[in-house]
Structure 1
Amino acid sequence: MNDRWTTDHVLSLSPDVPSTKAAARLAKAEPWSGTGTSADAVWGACKGSGSRPYQTVVALDGPAYHCSCPSRKFPCKHALALLLLWAGNALAGEEAPAWATTWLTSRQQRAERATERAADRTTGRADASAPRDEAAAAARRAGREARVAVGAAELQARLTDQLSTGLAEAPSQGYGFWEGVAARMVDAQAPGLATRARELGALPASGQDWPSRLLEEYGLLHLLAAGYQRVGELPEPLAATVRSRVGFTVDAAEVLRGPLVRDRWLVLGSRDSADDRLTTRRLWLRGEESGRTALLLSFGRPGVAPELALPTGLALDAELAFHPAARPLRAALGTRHAGPAAAPRPSGVTIDAALDTYAAALGDDPWLTSWPVVVSDVVPVPTETGWSLVDGTGSIPLRSGSFWRLVAASQGRPVTLFGECGCRGFDAVTAWTNEGSLLL
């Protein structure tokens, strides 16, 4: 590991605001002992409320973390604080203690075994420890496909009935009607159709354009259900998109058997979302050579941050495999050949070009609501209805992000901004200023 991270790089790994604040309080010499650093790791013992200090070690090539504290957050406040001390060049150079060496060695061995298994998958060698009944798996898949087809046909009939009776009755049906439809789609093992049905029930039946919005969503849902009914006739990339939208998933191990794209991937940003079932982390990357944008998804139990975390603004030499789709975006992370290292600010496009990019993606996948893009030389400005991004080619509404943090960072000057550009505006994720990167 040759490049020392900045404070912003470290804090971009934080799972939440309380962790950031707690780490800042611990990022000082007093509670720490036995700290040290090598080319690939940092370690130290932090005094806590118990009689024994918490043993913390971070492998910088992941990054990956180990701490003896009971926290379920990744990274915990101790790992964040240790990285903050390292970023500030405040760690002594002591030799790694046995507990740190043991964990680092074990991690390296696990990584080597994982690489061997990945090589076996790529070359087609069978894993004798995990036998698989291909005939049974095919039968289960065929059974599910039949159930989804029945569910898609029922959904089409429901939508046809809605249109035959007119949209005027839609507001009186309430959320319960579409929740019932969603439950039927769950029974049919089509979670993607269920989610879109629930979204229909949540649409506000108010405002002058609500019938147009409702009709648009009806059309998109009907198109998806009809597309699945004829999925065998579609070109394979579009068929893969339809299956994914309906709710079929492809295992990461299966994806990693496909073509691998090795590149130096810049971490553009990350964002967490949570519901009562799980916490989802989205991480966006862009290849330095390929120019491709990739989306990594990582999941954790309810209230628990996912383990995969990459520092925004740094780049890692790694292999990715993209899930099949008409417009591939989601990817699986394969072998990492080097840890996160310094990278230049990403290049961006104009607002007009960003909208063109989204329009092109929408042509391949009509159910897309947004597409990740970097815009450069844009200025956030207040409007009568909220905030907008402005440049020499036009403007676009800002829908999310910490607007005042963005304004403070830009100070009225143009900035480079990463986010998702879509039909409802721009969702800001990361800003680059002269001082570095800033998660919004």
Structure 2
Amino acid sequence: MEDRWTPEHVLSLAPDVSSGKAAAKLSGPASWSAEGSWSAERSEGSVAGAAVWGECKGSGSTPYRTVVDLSGPAFHCTCPSRKFPCKHALALLLRWSGGAAGQVADGSDVPGWAEGWLTARRSKSEQQQEKQQERQQQREEAAEPEAAEPEAVEPDGAARAAAERRLARRSARVAAGASELEARLADRIRSGLADAPGRGYAGWGDVAARMVDAQAPGLAARVRELGAVPGSGTGWPARLLEEYGLLHLLAVGYGQVDLLPEQLAATVRSRVGFTVDAADLLRGPLLRDSWLVLGSRDSADDRLTTRRIWLRGHDSGRDALLLAFGRPGTGPDLALPTGLRLDAELAFHPGVRPLRATLGTRYAAPAAPAAAETEPEGLDLTAALDAYGRALGDDPWLESWPVVLRQVVPAPTAIGWELADPATAQSIPVDRRPVPDSGLWRLLSVSGGRPLTLFGECGHRGFTPVTAWYQDDGATRTLAVTQLGGRP
């Protein structure tokens, strides 16, 4: 099979460090009783494309059956694990990858259980592609009014009117909630900040609940975070006032949202909590490019697991962020190996700084880039901070902005970790909250004191490393930093 992934590509998919370690132990031949891979077109109505399958010895008498559709990638395993992908899928990919010397041979004898799952998956994928093609045709017909009846591209008039009424009712509730929030913030400023540490989270609980009732989840989330600021260490009064100011700006902005420029209005609505339906976004405009997967990171709470995947377009140079969600304790379905390229269309969410995108049609399976493109272009620290500053000027509610740093050296200091630029003697602190110390020490070990290229998020708390590119025996290697210490 051509263009096999590397072990780094495979391990970047691990939901946590323990899964990667367990997969490495299972990647030996003793654990696998049967395995195979193929990348050829098969009979009509059957499987086409690239996939890997295998049977792995488990705790019972029946082996676990594992299959990976490389065009997604997508994973299926009969084991009871709730992690996604599970250690068996990762181990199978490690055996197939080039780093394992291609221990899984190409073959055409596909077991029925693997072919059945793949056929069903491809059928579903084809149906989704047909729907996207229908939407594309609708867009083309809408551009030529004389060739299409309005009913062909417009929703039913009664349904549209009902949707507009619901939106108007919600907008009124959000406006009332934003106005109430302004009044609450003014009251807190008048009463001073001295009692803020004693209030804790409970002091803002009723306000957050009121924002939920007003159908403004974005405001509710920011209000809840106010309770943590007084316990954040020295200088908390200034930080609390900053948060008050940003919330006040957002509430006032929504009160005048109809007077704002279109893209800024879209940003304000998004920050307040309004969402855009993915189907509406995929009606266009779309941007097709060869997207390099810069990295991914998972975060989890009691409600859901969130996966953030960052991409960079080869021709457009644009950065994009994909979000995927899963049930608590379960990884989302969308998984893209760091370092691979994906030929696909993206639809960007509206805003003054469009970054979040929805994945549209894929035109090829994720593939390894050319040797000269394995490492993305980066910025020095000054340019990276300028990029973050410009983004923050456009969207003051940004928590961070994705950047690629070049020629930086990670180092522990007396007050925490930092990334230093040897050429300019500048440095930036590392935000260690999403990245445990074990990940940062491993980052230091692969650097060996030498500069490396590092992708991550630049924010007001510092830089959060996600992916590193470094040299090893003359080859460029990829390290998924955030997976080394477990799930944040």
Q: Please give the TM-score of this superposition, normalised by the length of structure 2.
A: 0.87
SS at match of 2:449: coil
Equivalent of 2:105 in 86, 89, 92: 92
Determine the C-alpha separation between the residues in 1 that align with 2:271 and 2:324.
Answer: 18
Q: Aligned residue for 1:121?
A: 135
Q: Is the 8 A contact 2:310 2:321 kept in 1?
A: yes
Structure 2: 5+ residue runs without aligned partners?
40-49, 140-150, 482-488
Equivalent of 1:355 in 360, 376, 385: 385
CA displacement, residues 211-236 of structure 1 (integer Å, 9 cap, x when unaligned): 21111111000000001111111111
Determine the C-alpha separation between the residues in 2 that align with 1:192 and 1:405.
Answer: 36
Determine the C-alpha separation between the residues in 1 that align with 2:84 and 2:183.
Answer: 46
Determine the C-alpha separation between the residues in 1 that align with 2:105 and 2:136.
Answer: 43
Equivalent of 1:432 in 469, 473, 477: 469
Superposed CA RMSD? 1.8
Q: Aligned residue for 1:382?
A: 412
Determine the C-alpha separation between the residues in 2 that align with 1:427 and 1:31.
Answer: 37
Q: Aligned residue for 2:440?
A: 403
SS at match of 1:286: strand
Q: Aligned residue for 2:54?
A: 44
Q: Please give the TM-score of this superposition, normalised by the length of structure 1.
A: 0.96
SS at match of 1:167: coil
Q: CA deviation at 1:110?
A: 1.4
2:78 equivalent to 1:68: yes
What letter matches 1:83 in structure 2? L
Q: Is the 8 A contact 1:32 1:45 kept in 2?
A: yes
2:386 equivalent to 1:373: no
Equivalent of 1:106 in 111, 120, 128: 120
Determine the C-alpha separation between the residues in 1 that align with 2:417 and 2:18.
Answer: 27
Equivalent of 1:242 in 268, 276, 296: 268
CA gap of 1:292–1:99, structure 2 versus 1, over 3 A, is same
Q: Is the 8 A contact 1:2 1:341 kept in 2?
A: no
Deviating runs (4+, > 6 A) in structure 1? 125-128
Q: CA deviation at 1:71?
A: 2.3
SS at match of 2:195: helix
Determine the C-alpha separation between the residues in 1 that align with 2:87 and 2:201.
Answer: 41
Determine the C-alpha separation between the residues in 1 that align with 2:137 and 2:468.
Answer: 42
Equivalent of 1:137 in 163, 169, 175: 163
CA displacement, residues 74-109 of structure 1 (integer Å, 9 cap, x when unaligned): 211111111010011111334212222222222222
What letter matches 1:32 in structure 2? W
Q: CA deviation at 1:261?
A: 0.8
Determine the C-alpha separation between the residues in 1 that align with 2:3 and 2:34.
Answer: 23
SS at match of 1:421: strand
SS at match of 1:382: strand
SS at match of 2:163: helix
What letter matches 1:437 in structure 2? T
What letter matches 1:216 in structure 2? E
Q: Is the 8 A contact 1:278 1:303 kept in 2?
A: yes
2:449 equivalent to 1:412: yes
Q: Is the 8 A contact 1:32 1:46 kept in 2?
A: yes
Q: CA deviation at 1:208?
A: 5.0
Report the more deviating stretch, 400-409 or 325-334: 400-409
State the aligned residue count. 439
